[in-house]
Amino acid sequence: MSFSNTEKTEILSELRKVAAEGNRYHVIPYRSRWMVVEGGGAAQTPQTARTKDMAVQQARELAKAFKGEMVVHGKDGRIREHFSYRDAKK
């Protein structure tokens, strides 16, 4: 999926709002989709999903693989759930 220049600008703006350390994956709403973004303003392209559940699954897999954290935001942008996989065994 590719984004228009306007969408890229909006995504980058949203990424800048996410204040977090590395290996923290945020599930955030974006228009009619959900995005998984790595915290700390990483240059990585956000992953998109049609549903919140799909985005949560993507974020969980990343957080487990990289021994990080997953932060799930609601449609209002507020944090709804926070999970740490830093001590999880693979």
pLDDT digits (tens, 9 = 90+) for 9-62: 877 766 665 544 568 999 999 889 999 998 765 557 788 999 999 999 999 999
pTM: 0.71
Report the C-alpha gap between 6 and 30 in whole angstroms.
13
Give how far Cα 36 sits from Cα of 8, 50, 80, 89, Å: 14, 11, 15, 22
Is the separation of the CB atoms in 49 and 58 below 8 Å? yes
Tell me which of 8 and 25 has the higher pLDDT: 25
